[in-house]
Amino acid sequence: MKTFASIYIGSYEVTMKVFEISTEKKLKEIDCLRANLDILRDINTSGSVSLETTDRLCEILSDMKKTMKMYRCDNYRIFAGFMLHTAANELFVLEQIRIRVKLSVKLLSNSEHRFLGYEAVASQKDFKSIINEGAVIVDVGGASFQITLFDEGKVVTTQQIMFGTYSLHQSLINLGSMPDYQSQIPILVDKEIDVFIKMYLGDRKPKYMIIMGDRTTAAVQAGLDAYSREFIETKTAEDILKKFLKRTRKAINGEDFSIDLTDNRHMEALILIHLEILKKLNTEYVMLPGITVNDGIAYDYAYGEGLLRSPHDFENDVLSACWSIAERYGSYEPHLLALENFSLQIMDAMKKYHGLSKRHRLLMRCVCILHDCGKYISISEQADCSYAIIESSEILGLSHKERMMVATTVAFNRKELEPYEAMADRFSEEEYNVIVKLLAILKVANAMDRSHKQKFKSVKMTLKNRQLIISTESDSSAALEKGMFRGKANFFEQTFAIRPVIHEKRVI
C-alpha cells in the first residue's frame, strides 16, 4: 500500500487530497484540505500574482506539507492550473514556492488538466458502457469549461470554452444592478454552448452527462433523498440546482445562512453554467461522481507507477479524437490506415535502433492520422494549415507539448525541416530528436503510398546490414512510389543511419 498526496493549485482554491493506493482498496481518499486563494482574481486585475497571494500560497503549501508528513506519504505531485501560465510573474511564484516550501510545482496545460480529470472519470465503474451509449463529460473551471463528447464509445471532440465561473461571477457583479440580469446572464453562456452544438454535436444525442468537480455534486446530492453515485434524471438535477440557485441568491442577499458564501463565492456562477449546459445539451441522465483533478492526479500516479491498472484504454481515446479530426477535415481514410500501418511496421522493425518509446509510437499514429488534415483548408498551405488545426484542437490524452510535437512533425512533412536552434524555444533537444525521427518514418511511409492507392501489399520489413528491407508485392505499377521513395530514404538514413530499401515483387 502506498500513501500519496495530490495538490492542485486552482484559480481560486488550493486543494490537497491524500490517498491510500492498493490493489484491494484501489484509490481511497483519506483526507482533503481546501483553502481559498484568489489567484485568478490577482491575474485578472493586475496581470500577476500579488505578493500577498504568493505568501499565502506558500503558507498553505507549507501547512499541506506538514499534513503529508503526518500521513507519511510515500509520494506526492503538485500541479498548478493553466491560469498561472498567464501570470507575468509565473516563474517568480514557482521559485518562491521552491525556495520557501521546498516543493516543486508543475504547471498543467489545459489538455493535461482535462486529461487528469478524465483519467479519474474513466476509472469509474461502467464508464465503457456509458460512452458506448453516448455521453458528454463537462468540466467547469474558474477560467474556462470543457466539454468532451463521446459517441459509440469513442471520443468525438474535446472543446475548451473560455468562459469559467470566475468570468461569469465578474459579470454577475457587474450586471447585478440591472433589473433583469438574471435573465440576461444565461445568454452569455448559451452563445458559447450553441457554437459547440452546431459544430460538434449536430444530430448526436448523447444519453448521459458526467459532471466533473465536487461543488455541483454536493449541491445536487444535498437535494436528493439518498446519496447517489449512479445516474439521476436530468430533470431532477435541474430542479435541485434551480432550488439551490434560489438559496444561493438568498444567501448573497443575506436572507439564508445555510450556504457559507466565504467558501462558495462563485457558486451562483457555477450553478448557472451547469444549468445552461444541462438545458442546452439535454441529455437524459446526469452522473455526478464528485471527481476533481486531484483524483485524476492520483490515478495518473497509480497507473504510471503500476500500482493500479486502468480499466480504460486511454490510447484509444487519443486515436479516436485524431480520427474524428481527420474525418472532420475530409482526410482519405484508406491512405491514413496504410500510412499508420507502414509507420508502425517501420517502428517495430527498427525497435533496437530508433530509441523511441511506447508513447512515441502513439504519437507516430497521431502524426499519420493527422498528417494531411490541413488540405481541407488549403492544398497549397497544407503544412501550415495542418499545424494550425492540430495546435488548436484539444486531443484528450495528449499533453500540450505532445500535441505540438505532432503538429510540428506534420508541418515538416511538407516543409523543410528547421534546425534545432530555430525551435529551441519550444522543444528540448530530446523532443526535437523525437520529432525528426517521427518525421523520417512518416516521410518513408507516406512515400510508400504516394498515389493514395495502397499499391503495396503484403509488406514485410527486416533489418539487415544497416538496411531496412521493405519487401512488398504490388499488382500495378509502383513507379511513382519508388520514385518518391529515394528522396525520403536519404532523410531517413541521415536520421537513423539505416537506409530503407524497397524490394518489390509484382503479382498479377
Partner 1 sequence: MEKTENKNDYKDPAFYENRELSWLKFNHRILNEARDKDIPLLERTKFLAITSSNLDEFFMVRVASLKDMEHAGYKKPDIAGMTPTEQLKAINEKSKEFVNLQYSTYNRSLLPLMKKEGIQLIDRFEDLNQEQSSFVDHYFQENVYPVLTPMAVDASRPFPLVLNKTLNIVAKIKRKEKGSKLIKLKSGKNEEEFATVQVPSVLPRLIPIPVAEGYTRSFILLEQIIEKNISNLFLNYDVVCAFPYRIMRNADLSFDEDEASDLLKEIEKQLKKRQWGEVIRLEVEDNVDDGLLNLLIDNLNVKRADVFYINGPIDLTVLMKLSGISGYDNLKEEGYTPKTNTRFKKNPNIFEEIKRGDIFLQHPYESFTPVVDFIRTAANDPDVLAIKQTLYRVSGNSPIIAALAKAAENGKQVTVLVELKARFDEENNISWAKMLEKAGCHVIYGIVGLKTHCKIALVVRREEEGIRRYVHLGTGNYNDSTAKLYTDCGILTCRESIGEDATAVFNMLSGYSEPRTWNKLFVAPIWMRNKFISLIDREIYHAKNNNRGLIVAKMNSLCDVEMIAKLYEASAAGVEIHLIVRGICCLKAGVKDLSENIHVSSIVGTFLEHARIFYFYNNGDEEIYMGSADWMPRNLERRVEIIFPVEDEIGKAKAKHILEVQLRDNVKAYYMQPDGEYIRLDKRGKKLVASQRQFCEEAGRNENTENVSWRERVFVPILAPEENQEGDE
DSSP secondary structure string for all residues of 435-464: HHHHHHHHHHHHHHTTTSS--EEEEEEEEE
Query: Which region among 221-229, 336-344, 417-425, 436-444 touches partner 1 (by CB under 8 A)?
Result: 221-229
Query: Which region among 60-68, 115-123, 197-205, 344-352 touches partner 1 (by CB under 8 A)?
Result: 60-68
Cβ atoms within 10 Å, residue 98 = 12
Which residue, 32 or 501, is less far from partner 1 as judged by CB? 32
How many residues touch partner 1 (CB under 8 A)? 34
Cβ neighbourhood burial of 252 (10 Å; 0-12, 13-18, 19+): middle
Contact between 224 and partner 1 per CB under 8 A: no
Q: Which of 22, 96, 433, 454 binds partner 1 (CB under 8 A)?
A: 22
**Could you say which residues in the range 296-335 bind partner 1, by CB under 8 A?**
none
Contact between 33 and partner 1 per CB under 8 A: yes
Q: Which of 95, 194, 233, 263 binds partner 1 (CB under 8 A)?
A: 263
Contact between 65 and partner 1 per CB under 8 A: no
Contact between 221 and partner 1 per CB under 8 A: yes
DSSP secondary structure string for all residues of 284-312: SEEE-----HHHHHHHHHHHHTTSS--SS
Q: Which of 52, 180, 260, 421 binds partner 1 (CB under 8 A)?
A: 260
Write out the three cell numbers for 226.
439518498
Contact between 34 and partner 1 per CB under 8 A: yes
Write out the three cell numbers for 337.
490506415
User: Identity (one letter) of the amino acid at 193?
Assistant: I
* Minimum distance of partner 1 from residue 293's CB (angstroms): 15
Question: Which of 400, 399, 403, 398 has the alpha carbon at shortest distance from 387?
Answer: 403
Contact between 243 and partner 1 per CB under 8 A: no
Question: How far is residue 157's CA from residue 321's CA, in Å, rounded to a whole number?
Answer: 6
Which residue, 215 or 274, is less far from partner 1 as judged by CB? 215
* Minimum distance of partner 1 from residue 340's CB (angstroms): 44
Contact between 250 and partner 1 per CB under 8 A: no
Alpha carbon 158 to its chain centroid, in Å, reads 8
What are the beta bridge partners of residue 502?
470
**Could you say which residues in the range 266-295 bind partner 1, by CB under 8 A?**
290
Q: Which residues contact 356 (CB under 8 A, 6 or more apart)?
A: 347, 364, 434, 437, 438
- Complete edge-to-edge strand list for the sheet that includes strand 2-9: 26-36, 13-22, 2-9, 75-80, 106-107
Cβ–Cβ under 8 Å, residues 51 and 39: no
What are the beta bridge partners of residue 293?
none
DSSP category for residue 326: H
Contact between 257 and partner 1 per CB under 8 A: yes
Q: What is the largest CA-CA distance in the chain?
A: 85
Contact between 246 and partner 1 per CB under 8 A: no
Query: Which region among 130-138, 257-265, 334-342, 448-456 touches partner 1 (by CB under 8 A)?
Result: 257-265
Contact between 66 and partner 1 per CB under 8 A: yes
φ, ψ dihedrals at 260, nearest 5° = -85, 105
Q: Which of 25, 243, 351, 460 binds partner 1 (CB under 8 A)?
A: 25
What are the beta bridge partners of residue 448?
none
Cβ–Cβ under 8 Å, residues 489 and 455: no
Query: Which region among 32-40, 328-336, 438-446, 457-465 touches partner 1 (by CB under 8 A)?
Result: 32-40
Q: Which of 23, 36, 46, 378 binds partner 1 (CB under 8 A)?
A: 36
By CB under 8 A, name the binding residues for partner 1. Answer: 1, 3, 13, 20, 22, 25, 28, 30-36, 63, 66-67, 69-72, 214-215, 217-218, 221-222, 227, 257-260, 263, 290
